[in-house]
Chain A
Amino acid sequence: NAGVTQTPKFQVLKTGQSMTLQCAQDMNHNSMYWYRQDPGMGLRLIYYSASEGTTDKGEVPNGYNVSRLNKREFSLRLESAAPSQTSVYFCASSDTPQKNTEAFFGQGTRLTVV
Protein backbone atom coordinates (compact mmCIF):
# COMPACT_ATOMS: atom_id res chain seq x y z
CA ASN A 1 0.00 0.00 0.00
CA ALA A 2 1.99 2.99 -1.30
CA GLY A 3 -0.30 5.78 -0.06
CA VAL A 4 0.96 9.10 -1.45
CA THR A 5 4.01 9.02 -3.70
CA GLN A 6 5.98 12.12 -4.62
CA THR A 7 8.78 12.46 -7.11
CA PRO A 8 11.53 13.53 -7.06
CA LYS A 9 12.76 13.46 -3.45
CA PHE A 10 15.52 15.99 -4.08
CA GLN A 11 16.06 18.58 -6.81
CA VAL A 12 18.44 21.46 -7.46
CA LEU A 13 17.38 24.08 -9.99
CA LYS A 14 19.00 27.17 -11.37
CA THR A 15 17.07 30.42 -11.18
CA GLY A 16 14.70 30.64 -14.13
CA GLN A 17 14.49 26.92 -14.78
CA SER A 18 11.18 25.12 -14.74
CA MET A 19 10.17 21.79 -13.28
CA THR A 20 7.15 19.72 -12.32
CA LEU A 21 6.71 17.89 -9.05
CA GLN A 22 4.64 14.75 -9.44
CA CYS A 23 2.23 13.31 -6.90
CA ALA A 24 0.04 10.23 -7.02
CA GLN A 25 -2.21 8.60 -4.44
CA ASP A 26 -3.72 5.15 -4.47
CA MET A 27 -6.34 5.61 -1.74
CA ASN A 28 -9.14 6.80 -4.04
CA HIS A 29 -9.20 10.16 -2.24
CA ASN A 30 -11.05 13.05 -3.78
CA SER A 31 -9.02 15.89 -2.28
CA MET A 32 -5.35 16.57 -2.92
CA TYR A 33 -3.03 19.35 -1.75
CA TRP A 34 0.36 20.88 -2.21
CA TYR A 35 2.11 22.44 0.79
CA ARG A 36 5.47 24.02 1.26
CA GLN A 37 7.37 23.80 4.52
CA ASP A 38 9.81 26.50 5.56
CA PRO A 39 11.63 26.83 8.91
CA GLY A 40 9.51 28.62 11.50
CA MET A 41 6.49 28.83 9.20
CA GLY A 42 4.92 25.41 9.40
CA LEU A 43 3.18 24.06 6.34
CA ARG A 44 1.55 26.55 4.03
CA LEU A 45 -0.99 25.56 1.43
CA ILE A 46 -0.02 26.38 -2.15
CA TYR A 47 -2.91 24.86 -4.10
CA TYR A 48 -5.53 22.25 -3.51
CA SER A 49 -7.98 20.21 -5.51
CA ALA A 50 -11.24 19.28 -3.82
CA SER A 51 -12.13 16.85 -6.58
CA GLU A 52 -11.05 15.73 -10.01
CA GLY A 53 -11.29 18.61 -12.45
CA THR A 54 -11.14 21.41 -9.87
CA THR A 55 -8.23 23.35 -8.42
CA ASP A 56 -8.08 26.36 -6.11
CA LYS A 57 -5.44 28.66 -4.72
CA GLY A 58 -4.22 28.34 -1.18
CA GLU A 59 -2.23 30.80 0.91
CA VAL A 60 0.90 31.08 -1.25
CA PRO A 61 0.06 30.31 -4.91
CA ASN A 62 2.26 32.88 -6.63
CA GLY A 63 4.88 31.33 -8.89
CA TYR A 64 3.15 27.96 -9.06
CA ASN A 65 0.64 26.17 -11.23
CA VAL A 66 -1.09 22.86 -10.70
CA SER A 67 -2.83 20.21 -12.74
CA ARG A 68 -5.24 17.59 -11.46
CA LEU A 69 -4.57 15.10 -14.20
CA ASN A 70 -7.04 12.53 -12.93
CA LYS A 71 -8.31 11.36 -9.56
CA ARG A 72 -4.94 9.85 -8.66
CA GLU A 73 -2.50 12.52 -9.80
CA PHE A 74 -1.90 16.14 -8.85
CA SER A 75 1.20 17.89 -10.17
CA LEU A 76 2.84 21.15 -9.15
CA ARG A 77 4.76 23.21 -11.69
CA LEU A 78 7.31 25.93 -11.18
CA GLU A 79 7.50 27.85 -14.46
CA SER A 80 10.48 30.04 -13.60
CA ALA A 81 12.13 29.00 -10.36
CA ALA A 82 13.29 31.66 -7.89
CA PRO A 83 15.53 31.30 -4.81
CA SER A 84 12.48 32.15 -2.65
CA GLN A 85 10.98 28.86 -3.78
CA THR A 86 13.71 26.90 -2.04
CA SER A 87 11.68 24.77 0.35
CA VAL A 88 10.42 21.31 1.16
CA TYR A 89 7.26 20.50 -0.76
CA PHE A 90 4.63 18.05 0.41
CA CYS A 91 1.76 16.53 -1.46
CA ALA A 92 -1.17 15.25 0.56
CA SER A 93 -4.56 13.68 -0.01
CA SER A 94 -7.70 13.14 2.01
CA ASP A 95 -11.16 11.72 1.72
CA THR A 96 -14.26 13.68 0.70
CA PRO A 97 -14.83 17.00 2.47
CA GLN A 98 -17.87 15.64 4.22
CA LYS A 99 -15.87 12.91 5.89
CA ASN A 100 -13.21 15.15 7.36
CA THR A 101 -10.52 12.55 7.74
CA GLU A 102 -6.92 13.46 8.24
CA ALA A 103 -4.58 14.21 5.37
CA PHE A 104 -2.06 11.59 4.26
CA PHE A 105 1.29 12.94 3.15
CA GLY A 106 4.00 12.02 0.69
CA GLN A 107 7.61 11.95 1.80
CA GLY A 108 8.37 15.43 0.56
CA THR A 109 10.61 16.98 -2.07
CA ARG A 110 13.55 19.08 -1.00
CA LEU A 111 13.98 21.73 -3.68
CA THR A 112 16.93 24.10 -3.80
CA VAL A 113 16.97 27.00 -6.27
CA VAL A 114 20.41 28.52 -6.78
Chain B
Amino acid sequence: AQTVTQSQPEMSVQEAETVTLSCTYDTSESNYYLFWYKQPPSRQMILVIRQEAYKQQNATENRFSVNFQKAAKSFSLKISDSQLGDTAMYFCAFIHPGGYQKVTFGTGTKLQVIP
Protein backbone atom coordinates (compact mmCIF):
# COMPACT_ATOMS: atom_id res chain seq x y z
CA ALA B 1 0.00 0.00 0.00
CA GLN B 2 1.13 3.52 -0.70
CA THR B 3 1.79 5.88 2.18
CA VAL B 4 2.44 9.60 2.21
CA THR B 5 4.19 11.28 5.14
CA GLN B 6 4.31 14.97 5.96
CA SER B 7 6.51 15.40 9.01
CA GLN B 8 5.83 19.10 9.64
CA PRO B 9 2.37 19.59 11.20
CA GLU B 10 2.82 23.37 11.34
CA MET B 11 5.15 25.94 9.83
CA SER B 12 5.37 29.69 9.66
CA VAL B 13 7.16 32.07 7.31
CA GLN B 14 7.56 35.82 7.05
CA GLU B 15 5.82 37.50 4.17
CA ALA B 16 8.06 37.67 1.06
CA GLU B 17 10.35 34.91 2.39
CA THR B 18 10.74 31.38 1.05
CA VAL B 19 9.50 28.24 2.76
CA THR B 20 9.82 24.54 1.94
CA LEU B 21 7.27 21.92 2.94
CA SER B 22 8.41 18.31 3.11
CA CYS B 23 6.75 15.18 1.84
CA THR B 24 7.96 11.61 1.56
CA TYR B 25 6.10 8.65 0.16
CA ASP B 26 6.44 4.93 -0.09
CA THR B 27 5.53 2.89 -3.13
CA SER B 28 6.74 -0.05 -5.14
CA GLU B 29 5.40 1.48 -8.34
CA SER B 30 7.70 3.09 -10.89
CA ASN B 31 5.12 5.26 -12.60
CA TYR B 32 2.91 7.54 -10.57
CA TYR B 33 1.80 11.12 -10.03
CA LEU B 34 2.35 13.43 -7.09
CA PHE B 35 0.37 16.51 -6.17
CA TRP B 36 0.34 19.35 -3.71
CA TYR B 37 -3.08 20.62 -2.70
CA LYS B 38 -3.81 23.82 -0.81
CA GLN B 39 -6.76 24.10 1.57
CA PRO B 40 -7.41 27.68 2.74
CA PRO B 41 -9.83 28.45 5.59
CA SER B 42 -12.68 28.27 3.08
CA ARG B 43 -12.10 24.46 3.07
CA GLN B 44 -11.87 24.33 -0.72
CA MET B 45 -9.20 21.93 -1.97
CA ILE B 46 -7.13 23.61 -4.65
CA LEU B 47 -4.49 21.91 -6.78
CA VAL B 48 -1.18 23.77 -6.50
CA ILE B 49 1.20 21.70 -8.57
CA ARG B 50 1.65 18.21 -9.98
CA GLN B 51 4.66 16.06 -10.85
CA GLU B 52 4.77 13.00 -13.08
CA ALA B 53 7.25 10.44 -11.78
CA TYR B 54 8.69 9.65 -15.21
CA LYS B 55 9.65 13.29 -15.73
CA GLN B 56 13.00 14.21 -14.23
CA GLN B 57 12.41 17.95 -14.50
CA ASN B 58 10.93 19.50 -11.39
CA ALA B 59 7.51 21.08 -11.89
CA THR B 60 7.07 24.83 -11.45
CA GLU B 61 3.95 26.97 -11.24
CA ASN B 62 4.74 30.65 -10.72
CA ARG B 63 5.95 31.00 -7.11
CA PHE B 64 5.51 27.30 -6.40
CA SER B 65 8.09 24.69 -7.32
CA VAL B 66 8.90 21.16 -6.25
CA ASN B 67 12.06 19.27 -5.51
CA PHE B 68 11.33 15.75 -6.70
CA GLN B 69 13.87 13.14 -5.65
CA LYS B 70 12.57 9.85 -7.03
CA ALA B 71 15.25 7.61 -5.55
CA ALA B 72 14.72 9.13 -2.12
CA LYS B 73 10.93 9.15 -2.59
CA SER B 74 10.82 12.78 -1.61
CA PHE B 75 8.56 15.50 -2.99
CA SER B 76 8.99 18.87 -1.28
CA LEU B 77 7.14 22.08 -2.12
CA LYS B 78 8.95 25.42 -2.19
CA ILE B 79 6.93 28.60 -1.96
CA SER B 80 8.88 31.70 -2.94
CA ASP B 81 7.94 35.29 -2.08
CA SER B 82 5.32 34.06 0.38
CA GLN B 83 2.07 36.00 0.46
CA LEU B 84 -0.62 36.29 3.11
CA GLY B 85 -2.96 34.39 0.80
CA ASP B 86 -0.66 31.38 1.01
CA THR B 87 -1.81 30.80 4.59
CA ALA B 88 -3.50 27.39 4.40
CA MET B 89 -3.20 23.67 4.98
CA TYR B 90 -1.06 21.98 2.37
CA PHE B 91 -1.52 18.34 1.51
CA CYS B 92 0.85 16.13 -0.42
CA ALA B 93 -0.93 13.44 -2.44
CA PHE B 94 0.01 10.39 -4.48
CA ILE B 95 -1.72 8.48 -7.23
CA HIS B 96 -0.53 5.57 -9.31
CA PRO B 97 -1.88 4.18 -12.57
CA GLY B 98 -4.02 1.20 -11.90
CA GLY B 99 -7.41 -0.37 -12.35
CA TYR B 100 -8.94 2.45 -10.36
CA GLN B 101 -7.93 5.93 -9.44
CA LYS B 102 -7.34 6.40 -5.73
CA VAL B 103 -5.53 9.37 -4.29
CA THR B 104 -3.60 8.90 -1.04
CA PHE B 105 -3.06 12.01 1.05
CA GLY B 106 -0.56 12.98 3.71
CA THR B 107 -1.70 14.40 7.04
CA GLY B 108 -1.07 17.98 5.98
CA THR B 109 1.11 20.95 6.97
CA LYS B 110 -0.51 24.06 8.34
CA LEU B 111 1.35 27.07 6.93
CA GLN B 112 1.01 30.50 8.48
CA VAL B 113 2.38 33.50 6.59
CA ILE B 114 3.25 36.29 9.03
CA PRO B 115 2.98 39.93 7.92
Contact = CB atoms under 8 A, between A and B. Distances in A.
Interface of A: 31, 33, 35, 40-45, 48, 50, 56, 58, 88, 90, 92, 94-98, 100, 102-103, 105, 107-108, 110
Interface residues of B, number: 26
A48 B101 CA distance: 9
A38 B111 CA distance: 17
A90 B45 contact: yes
Query: What 5 pairs across the A-B complex have the smallest Cβ distances?
Result: A105-B45, A50-B100, A42-B107, A43-B105, A42-B105
Given A42-B107, A48-B100, A97-B99, A102 B47 contact: yes
A42 B108 contact: yes
Contacts of B97: 97-98, 100
Contacts of B35: 102
A100 B100 contact: no
Interface of B: 4, 6, 9, 33, 35, 42-45, 47, 50, 91, 93, 95, 97-108
B107 A107 contact: no
A42 B23 CA distance: 13
B101 A50 contact: yes
Nearest to B95: A100
